[in-house]
Amino acid sequence: MTIRILGIETSCDETAAAVVDGGHTILSNIIASQAESHAQYGGVYPELASRMHVESIAFVVEQALVAAHIGWDDLDAVAVTYGPGLPGSLLVGLNYAKGAAFATGLPLVPINHLEGHLYAHWLDTGAEGSAAGNLRFPLVALIVSGGHTDLVLVHGHGQYQRLGSTLDDAAGEAFDKVARMLKLGYPGGPVVEEAAKKGNPAAIDLPRAWLPGTYDFSFSGLKTAVLRIQQKYTGPVPPRFYADMAAAFQESVVDVLVEKTKAAVEEFGPNAVLLSGGVSANMALQEAARARIPLPVYTLPSVLCTDNAAMIAAAGFYRYQAGERAGWNLDIDPGLQLI
Ligand code: KG4
Ligand code: ZN
């Protein structure tokens, strides 16, 4: 019998539950996204997020079991995200997982959300560009989400060395803020990517924060530059402006992310590169990374880039095998880091 893990994820605005077999086969992957409800506020409204998690968590977990055609007795453990994330959101998933583990007698495995993003690469996705079990350490991982931008050297399971992080805004946060400035909608990443397809990145000159000699990132100067250029228009804005700005902004972010990752590859000589997190769904980023980095660059289908619970179950498999178990005193850790 292989090991079956139920993953539960509620760190931000997706209520998610999934069952993963043997650490790689997705038996079910249920995601109730709240994005439409938050769109009217232009970003995630934390109180609404936790209330919506409360309303949907029981149903989402039940659906994950139904879709996997299994019952609680067929599971080996419950893996749950305990940080980083929004406190009220994390609490809903963690308390539900504790209740379920207590009632069923299953062990509870605590998972760092960022480790989850990384372990999405151990899932069999069947998609082009996926790692499909070909991973050999060491690996360089770029984890780019709404809350984090981390460049990490992965020496082995659970063995991480941080190379660099953002000093201010996360890459996804910059996409969301610029989308709001340009009145393109929410969430920012997909709408900026769509607008950028019709724009000319060379039409507007935007800065790149190289922060030489470090693997750190900074996106707040870029965001301010976008705002300054936009504010120059006191009258009507030329129709091409939004598409050109989206393209120039995206190119600036992609350039810095890819060049820093490439530099890390040259210095540390990994076997491959992993792109994870919501921003890694961006095709311009995926294409630039593949074109410029002379190693396999593994990417994920969109649904496994953004928040999901299959990645939590995949990370849970390795933590479970390593004997990791949470006590009933496990608490949320909203500011948790990977390393
Ligand atoms: O990983 P994720 O779902 O949640 C966090 O852990 O934060 O990442 C969400 C972020 C959002 O900021 C969203 O705008 C960004 O990922 N994102 C994208 C794309 N799709 C989602 N950014 C750029 N291009 C995309 N296609
Ligand atoms: Zn995430």
* Cα 145 to middle of ligand 1, angstroms: 5
Residues 269-282: pLDDT tens digits? 999 999 999 999 99
**pLDDT: which is higher, 164 or 236:** 164
Where on the phi/psi map is residue 69: left (φ > 0), alpha (ψ -120 to 50), or beta? left
Task: For strands 272-276 and 139-144, give the pairing.
Answer: parallel
Region 32-61 average pLDDT: 95
Q: Is the CB of residue 146 below 6 angstroms from any atom belonging to ligand 1? A: yes
Amino acid at 263: A
Region 305-312 average pLDDT: 98
Residues 6+ apart with CB under 8 A from 170: 144, 145, 146, 147, 148, 149, 219
Q: Is the CB of residue 145 below 6 angstroms from any atom belonging to ligand 1? A: yes
* Cα 189 to middle of ligand 1, angstroms: 6
Region 188-199 average pLDDT: 97
pLDDT of residue 200: 98
Mean pLDDT of the chain: 96
Q: Best substitution site from 90, 279, 312 to test ligand 1's pocket, by max atoms within 8 Å of Cβ? A: 279
**Model pTM?**
0.97
Residues 282-301: pLDDT tens digits? 999 999 999 999 999 999 99
Laid out side by side, the sheet with 14-21 consists of 25-33, 14-21, 4-9, 77-83, 108-112
Q: Is the CB of residue 316 below 6 angstroms from any atom belonging to ligand 1? A: no
Q: Best substitution site from 119, 175, 222 to test ligand 1's pocket, by max atoms within 8 Å of Cβ? A: 175
pLDDT of residue 133: 74
pLDDT of residue 126: 82
